[in-house]
């Protein structure tokens, strides 16, 4: 199947093999009398098997230890912005946040409606064009947790290594780089991600949570927002997003077939190298937005052209050439090429070729 080259920031490109499997299950699943995956009960053994297999594959792919539970939730990453402080930000404790742009700011704003928040480091004064330095940063007394955003989808920065806060519970939003690079899950209290970039389609939110920390969460909040309740019900306290979970299963199968997260990380490095080389080799025609090369995202490459008018022309001509969704976020402007797992290396090569050709013509 030949498909358009899709650089969308999310919902994002999905591998053709995954789309084919999902389309087939949408039309009918042989194991459930040919009914569609979206017209059967989540209580059927076949669907319980889907959930179990998705969890097993995620556990293998990400090396998730038995100390951590895997939950399939709803409400997206923004839901997690609220659910985390709801569960752990008790009166008298502080949520410590690292501000690296729009999404971490949204997490901070949401937490502030529920309790005390302290921003321990921020990249705001530098326009979020690099990650803030953490040397000398002290955590407040009675820190309930630290919150970090792993990859900043809008500005195009990504922590090369996630910060370490020792024994303090560390929560990380991995929405835009889940399954894209190896991560030592055992170091974290909670990792969460909306699936719609690297792990499937919108509708399901993956939460990987330290069981001991989950047991220490508040019990005086509505049951639906308690991680422990969802865990006790195998993520089926309410009707789960069945189709979205099924697509995540197809993504996991595809990823394991391709060699897993380490193989995917190597492929992502290749794609990023190709696109950043096209930026850096353009004699200043293209200018990378991120000022510190080590902080450049492997997932979202952001760059500017000599003028906004030229950026408009770039996006229009790219669309005409079959390279889609390259316009930057409205808050950041410029160009953003999202290079998620499902984008093949040839996609990055075609973009680099287009960039060289565009520069020559303009």
Ligand X SMILES: Cc1ncc(COP(=O)(O)O)c(C=O)c1O
Residues lying near ligand X in the complex (CB under 6 A)? 10, 76-78, 103, 149, 153, 173, 175-176, 194
CB of 8 to ligand X, least distance (A): 10
Facing residues of 157 across strands? 152, 296
CB of 58 to ligand X, least distance (A): 18
Tokens 């897993």: give the residue.
Answer: 260
Nearer to ligand X, 42 or 78 (CB): 78
Contact 291, 126 (CB under 8 A): yes
The one catalytic residue in 197, 210, 213, 231 is 197
First vs last Cα of the chain: how many Å apart?
Answer: 33
Nearer to ligand X, 173 or 231 (CB): 173
Compute the C-alpha angle 258/346/329, nearest 5°: 100
Compute the C-alpha angle 105/210/122, nearest 5°: 20
Both tokens of 305, joined, read 């052209």
Nearer to ligand X, 25 or 337 (CB): 337
3-state secondary structure of 334: coil
Contact 74, 245 (CB under 8 A): no
Contact 158, 152 (CB under 8 A): yes
Nearer to ligand X, 153 or 230 (CB): 153
Contact 229, 69 (CB under 8 A): no
CB of 153 to ligand X, least distance (A): 3
Distance of alpha carbon 131 from alpha carbon 362, whole angstroms: 33
Contact 297, 329 (CB under 8 A): no
The DSSP string of 122-156 is E-GGGTTSSPPP-TT--PPTTEEEEEEESEETTTT
Answer yes or no: 359 catalytic: no
Contact 295, 302 (CB under 8 A): no
The one catalytic residue in 88, 99, 159, 173 is 173
The one catalytic residue in 88, 99, 103, 231 is 103
CB of 76 to ligand X, least distance (A): 3
Task: Tell me the residue nearest to ligand X as measured from the CB.
Answer: 76
Answer yes or no: 173 catalytic: yes
Nearer to ligand X, 99 or 173 (CB): 173
CB of 78 to ligand X, least distance (A): 3
Nearer to ligand X, 87 or 176 (CB): 176
Distance of alpha carbon 194 from alpha carbon 260, whole angstroms: 20
Nearer to ligand X, 142 or 331 (CB): 331
CB of 174 to ligand X, least distance (A): 8
Distance of alpha carbon 119 from alpha carbon 115, whole angstroms: 13
Answer yes or no: 231 catalytic: no
Going 39 to 41 to 42 to 47, the CA torsion angle's sign is: negative
Both tokens of 45, joined, read 């053994």
CB of 55 to ligand X, least distance (A): 20
List residues with catalytic annotation.
103, 173, 197
């Amino acid at each position: 199947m030949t498909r358009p080259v899709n650089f969308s920031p999310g919902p994002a490109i999905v591998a053709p093999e995954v789309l084919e499997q999902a389309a087939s299950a949408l039309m009918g699943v042989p194991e459930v009398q040919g009914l569609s995956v979206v017209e059967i009960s989540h209580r059927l053994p076949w669907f319980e098997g889907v959930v179990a297999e998705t969890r097993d594959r995620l556990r293998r792919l990400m090396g998730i230890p038995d100390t951590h539970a895997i939950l399939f939730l709803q409400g997206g990453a923004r839901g997690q912005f609220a659910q985390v402080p709801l569960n752990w930000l008790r009166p008298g404790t502080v949520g410590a946040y690292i501000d690296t742009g729009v999404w971490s700011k949204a997490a901070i704003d949401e937490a502030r409606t529920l309790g005390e928040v302290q921003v321990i480091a921020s990249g705001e004064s530098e326009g979020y064009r690099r990650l803030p330095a953490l040397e000398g940063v002290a955590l407040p007394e009675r820190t309930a947790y630290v919150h970090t955003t792993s990859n900043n989808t809008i500005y195009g920065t990504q922590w090369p290594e996630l910060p370490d806060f020792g024994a303090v519970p560390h929560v990380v939003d991995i929405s835009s780089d889940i399954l894209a690079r190896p991560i030592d899950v055992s170091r974290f209290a909670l990792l969460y991600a909306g699936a719609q970039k690297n792990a499937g389609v919108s509708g399901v939110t993956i939460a990987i949570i330290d069981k001991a920390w989950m047991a220490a969460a508040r019990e005086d909040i509505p049951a639906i927002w308690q991680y422990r309740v969802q865990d006790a019900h195998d993520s089926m306290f309410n009707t789960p997003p069945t189709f979205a979970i099924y697509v995540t299963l197809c993504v996991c199968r595809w990823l394991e077939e391709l060699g897993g997260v380490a193989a995917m990380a190597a492929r992502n490095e290749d794609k990023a190298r190709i696109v950043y080389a096209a930026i850096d080799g353009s004699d200043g025609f293209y200018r990378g937005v991120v000022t510190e090369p080590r902080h450049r995202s492997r997932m979202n490459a952001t760059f500017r052209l000599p003028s906004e008018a030229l950026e408009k022309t770039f996006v229009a001509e790219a669309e005409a050439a079959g390279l889609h969704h390259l316009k930057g976020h409205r808050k950041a402007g410029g160009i953003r090429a999202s290079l998620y797992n499902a984008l093949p290396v040839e996609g990055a090569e075609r973009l680099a070729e287009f960039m060289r050709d565009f520069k020559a013509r303009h």
